[in-house]
Structure 1
Amino acid sequence: MQLTLRACALAVALTLGAPLANALDDQKIGASVESLLEFARERNPEYASMRYEAEAAGERSASAGALPDPKLRVELEDITKMGEQNPTLSPSRVGQAKYQIMQELPWFGKRDLQREVATLEAEGAKGKAYAMWADLASRIKAGYAQLYYIHENERLTKEILDLMSRLERVSQVRYAGGLAAQSDAIRAQVELTNMKNELVMLDNEKRMLHARLNMLIARPPNAPLADPERLRQLPPPAHLEYAALADRVRGRNPRLSSDDARVRAAEKSRDLTYKNRYPDFAVGFAPMQSGKSVKEWEVMFEMNIPIQQSSRRAMERESEAMLSAARARKDATANEVLSELAESLSALEAARRTESIITNSLLPQAELTYKSALASYENGKVDFATLLDAQRQIRQARQGQIKAQADAQTRLAEIERLLGEEL
């Protein structure tokens, strides 16, 4: 009895614990870009539909090139036996029953070409699915980088807001002591109001990004997301050389892979079209029943006569044009992706250099300027406008630093989309 109760208690605990575990997992979604990508890979319906289509194309290639089903024809001759009996459908009572079995046979090599065309089309469908995922992953990565920027900007604004509150109190004390004008306190209050208004705008942008990311990972728009904790580490500059990445793009870009499969499928389709110059066959045999026994056999051979040469030449020209179009499409895609690669690499390098300049030069200079202005203001050597300007310089430098980091992540996502894999 005790074992039974323990088993029941364990089952209840597992049943109640599963939703709790899922809830805990949901709370972690958004903390890192990897959590968003993992969730989207499992749940995004558009990506799932592309994968199913690719799977269906793969199954279609297995049946391509198979022989058509044989045909059976039953002929009952002289069902009244020259008027000696009533009409009947019994094979043993008619004048003669013929059972004809026919099998169509395409010209040599046609079945192999049909199978190869279907296989290459399946590869093209897989390439489209990979391209769709690469695009979806890039949008998620870019959205996460933007969300990180908004989150850090919001945190920075709150820090500056706290700093401005202290400066406002300093200006109030100096005004009360007759050491500063009333306008200093008013300016501080105006600055505080502007920052509060900016926090409202940042909160709205964050909500919009939450809805966009939830859409991409197939969650309700108002589903909560964890605050972003970190950005991915950028690859070293040695791994971002254009020549090496261009070679990888040519070999691994999903769109180029799909276009290459289309080119090869068009080549096989052209070869198949030229095969239509030759006839297809049909062979068969027919046992003939007289009474209750089979005493005669027939063997048959059939072939079509390809005499409609004008229509065949038109189909051949069509297949050649389709092949040329597929090759041109692949060349256009290659030019496009290589151009995008060069642009993204240049923008990534610019963002990296911008962050380095801000971190190593501009931000320390702005902090020193602010400290000097604050000390001078407290001693009455500079006015409050100079202090506010120094504070804005620090804020702008920090915002520029965060924006450069987010821009670099967005460009990295674009490069990975072109590569079809992560760096």
Structure 2
Amino acid sequence: MTQFSCCGRGRRLAAASMLLMAAMSGSLVAAEPPSPLTSQALVDQVLRANASIAAYTAHQRARSAEARSADALDDPRLSYAIAPKSVGDPSVDTGHIVGISQTLPWPGKRALRRRQAEALVDAARHGLHARRRELAFEARSAYADWAYLGAALRINQGQQEQLRTLVAVAEQRYAAGSGTQQEPLAAQVRLMRLREAQWQLEAQREAVRGRINALRQAPMGHALPDAAGIPVRTQTPELSRLMAAAERNHPALSVLDARARSADSQQSLRDLARRPDVTLSANHVGTLPREPYRTQVGVALSLPLGQDKYDAATASARAQADALRAERADLAHRLRADVRSAYARWRAAERARQLYADTLQSLAGQSRDAALALYSRGRGDVQAVIDAETEWLAVHTGHLRSQRDAFQTLAELALLTGGALDAQLIPEARP
């Protein structure tokens, strides 16, 4: 029995020695926690991985390829005909006709086709830019939610520790006869409510994690580092500058401008459709009896008859251009309203953030400390401590919420201004 114990101790000592040697040799290295996630890092991940960027890029390549051949001439036509009965007849030459022809469009048509195609290339390019801006906004907005919920959970857990201590103190006072049974019960009720709030926060955080992983094309349950924090910007460009930047740089306006230019070129093409195209031809007519007359050259003109169809086509193209310009004007008005609204919401959120940071957090902390000090000396009421703790939590959560709201409205302003003012709006932002 003693031998068995000695052997067991020997094995344990040997194992401990091996672990110590491994640790000293560096073979056992604790895994470092992942670096905190920043808003710009998330934007970069989303722009690299999101499949819609590849789709928009492919669409732009397709438009560019179409533009390269937009002004190309139609393929020449080669024709051949034969008189079947002349084949094998020794009394006549074999009757056949060989011809080639090329259609030349009316001057100006090819240039207009190329101009129309290049406008569509511009529309695709601005569409890609618009999609990148939308994804950056979605990533920043989701990041703010991720950071807010992570910080709110940490505060909630700290509050639960405070309440557990309060429950223990209240139970001790009740057992000693210096408190009532209601005091530990009230503290336990508040603790349970905090646990319920924790579960709600965890559910919301899981939903945000899924949203972020969808944006960066990762599995829904993929691990996500904690947020580094919500960046703070205390000043922004003036409202007039923001509105001017939105009207000048918003990619959706640029898309409509490019599409309107394409529609203008289409209208000009419809007008030129009334002008005839020219077809040049050269033929060898083997059915003619004399050799000098068998080689022939010719010209043919299309006859644009029936002006009503050309008038209708021109009117249709003009209406499309008018519709696009009206749509642009409407969007410009809505952008101005959106910028004004986002700016007002940012000012309200930033003022609230400063109020929480400069005044309310300090007052709530002093109130909580005073209530705890009074209760620890055997005076005061446990409900006063619970109320002070509840108010402290509300103030700190409100501070986090105001930070989140301010950052999300800045992200919205960055979206509306098309990236021109990102450096003045978003801390960490890169083009």
TM-score in terms of structure 2 length: 0.85
1:108 alignment partner, SS class: coil
Change in 2 beyond 3 A, CA 1:27/1:110:
farther
Task: Extract unaligned runs of 5+ from structure 1.
Answer: 1-23, 86-92
Q: For each residue in 1:131-181, what CA deviation from the matched residue of structure 2 results, as whole angstroms up to 9, or x when unmatched?
A: 222112211111110111110000000111111122222222222222221
Partner of 1:127: 126
Q: For each residue in 1:199-229, what CA deviation from the matched residue of structure 2 results, as whole angstroms up to 9, or x when unmatched?
A: 2221121111111111111111111111111
Partner of 2:27: none
Alignment of structure 1 residues 142-161 onto 2, 5 Å: 142-161=141-160
Partner of 1:303: 301
Give 1:47's aligned amino acid.
I
Partner of 1:54: 60
Partner of 2:174: 175
Aligned length: 389
Give 2:207's aligned amino acid.
M
Partner of 1:242: 239
2:202 alignment partner, SS class: helix
Q: Do the aligned partners of 2:232 and 2:403 also contact (CA within 8 Å) in 1?
A: no
Partner of 2:340: 342
Measured after TM superposition, the shift of residue 95 of structure 1 is 3.1
Partner of 2:311: 313
Change in 2 beyond 3 A, CA 1:315/1:412:
same
Q: Do the aligned partners of 2:160 and 2:191 also contact (CA within 8 Å) in 1?
A: yes
Measured after TM superposition, the shift of residue 61 of structure 1 is 0.9
Q: Do the aligned partners of 1:101 and 1:286 also contact (CA within 8 Å) in 2?
A: yes
1:229 alignment partner, SS class: coil
Partner of 1:14: none
Measured after TM superposition, the shift of residue 364 of structure 1 is 0.8
Partner Cα separation in structure 1 for residue 32 and residue 45 of structure 2? 10
Partner of 2:11: none
Give 1:278's aligned amino acid.
R
Partner Cα separation in structure 2 for residue 53 and residue 164 of structure 1? 58
Partner of 1:35: 41
Partner of 1:139: 138
Moved more, 246-255 or 146-155: 246-255
Partner of 1:10: none
1:179 alignment partner, SS class: coil
Measured after TM superposition, the shift of residue 115 of structure 1 is 0.4
Give 2:390's aligned amino acid.
R
Partner Cα separation in structure 2 for residue 307 and residue 145 of structure 1? 64
Partner Cα separation in structure 1 for residue 311 and residue 223 of structure 2? 62
Q: Do the aligned partners of 2:50 and 2:217 also contact (CA within 8 Å) in 1?
A: yes
Matched, 1:73 2:79: yes
Give 1:304's aligned amino acid.
S
Moved more, 114-123 or 412-421: 412-421
Measured after TM superposition, the shift of residue 289 of structure 1 is 5.1
Partner of 2:257: 260
| Alignment root-mean-square deviation, CA | 2.3
Partner of 1:379: 377
1:301 alignment partner, SS class: strand
Partner Cα separation in structure 2 for residue 275 and residue 173 of structure 1? 97
Change in 2 beyond 3 A, CA 1:97/1:211:
same
Q: Do the aligned partners of 1:102 and 1:285 also contact (CA within 8 Å) in 2?
A: yes
Measured after TM superposition, the shift of residue 34 of structure 1 is 2.2
Partner Cα separation in structure 1 for residue 365 and residue 32 of structure 2? 41
Q: For each residue in 1:345-374, what CA deviation from the matched residue of structure 2 results, as whole angstroms up to 9, or x when unmatched?
A: 111111110000111111111111111112
Task: Extract unaligned runs of 5+ from structure 2.
Answer: 1-30, 424-431
Measured after TM superposition, the shift of residue 84 of structure 1 is 3.8
The sequence identity of aligned pairs, in percent, is: 24
Q: Do the aligned partners of 2:97 and 2:283 also contact (CA within 8 Å) in 1?
A: yes
Q: For each residue in 1:233-279, what CA deviation from the matched residue of structure 2 results, as whole angstroms up to 9, or x when unmatched?
A: 42x52x43111122211121110110111111111111111111211
Change in 2 beyond 3 A, CA 1:34/1:26:
farther
Partner Cα separation in structure 2 for residue 171 and residue 245 of structure 1? 56
Change in 2 beyond 3 A, CA 1:31/1:279:
same
Q: For each residue in 1:22-60, what CA deviation from the matched residue of structure 2 results, as whole angstroms up to 9, or x when unmatched?
A: xx99955x7122222222222211221111111111111
2:78 alignment partner, SS class: strand
Q: Do the aligned partners of 1:74 and 1:100 also contact (CA within 8 Å) in 2?
A: yes
Give 1:65's aligned amino acid.
D
Give 1:389's match in structure 2, choosing from 387, 390, 395: 387
Matched, 1:45 2:46: no
1:74 alignment partner, SS class: strand
Measured after TM superposition, the shift of residue 290 of structure 1 is 7.9
Partner Cα separation in structure 2 for residue 272 and residue 360 of structure 1? 66
Partner of 2:412: 414
Partner of 1:115: 114
Partner Cα separation in structure 2 for residue 136 and residue 94 of structure 1? 74
Measured after TM superposition, the shift of residue 64 of structure 1 is 0.5
Moved more, 52-61 or 75-84: 75-84
Q: Do the aligned partners of 2:80 and 2:98 also contact (CA within 8 Å) in 1?
A: yes
Q: Do the aligned partners of 1:348 and 1:411 also contact (CA within 8 Å) in 2?
A: yes
1:240 alignment partner, SS class: coil
Partner of 1:400: 398
Moved more, 304-313 or 174-183: 174-183
Extract structure 1 runs of 4+ deviating beyond 4 A: 24-28, 288-291
Measured after TM superposition, the shift of residue 288 of structure 1 is 4.2
Change in 2 beyond 3 A, CA 1:370/1:160:
same
Give 1:269's aligned amino acid.
Q
Give 1:376's aligned amino acid.
L
Give 1:120's aligned amino acid.
A
Give 1:284's match in structure 2, choosing from 278, 281, 286: 281
Q: Do the aligned partners of 1:27 and 1:225 also contact (CA within 8 Å) in 2?
A: no
Change in 2 beyond 3 A, CA 1:288/1:196:
same
Partner Cα separation in structure 2 for residue 177 and residue 361 of structure 1? 39
Q: Do the aligned partners of 1:164 and 1:188 also contact (CA within 8 Å) in 2?
A: yes
Partner Cα separation in structure 1 for residue 239 and residue 261 of structure 2? 28
